[in-house]
Amino acid sequence: MRDLMLGVLEASNWVVGGQNGAAGIRLWIEHRSLAYRMLRPKIARPVMLGVSELSRVVHAWPTRPLPSDLWQ
């Protein structure tokens, strides 16, 4: 069931309810029911970094080379 819900949520761009939401269009359940059913298997929308957060990550990148064993 978890794989089905994840696939449907990814296909709907993580929109749970509404016109093109995963609940009504693809799973035929209420959006509140889908939100409740996402709690037990701990399904949550992945965190999307915005431009400001992404620039902080890029600027925080180490300036010295990383050890080669990390890439193996």
Give per-residue pLDDT as tens, 1-50.
Answer: 889 889 999 898 888 888 888 888 888 889 899 989 988 888 888 876 55
Cβ atoms of 11 and 18 within 8 Å: the answer is no
pLDDT 10s digits, 56-68: 555 555 555 555 5
Residue 45: the pLDDT is 84
Query: Has this prediction a pTM greater than 0.75?
Result: no
If phi > 0 it is left, if psi is from -120 to 50 it is alpha, else beta; for residue 13 that is left
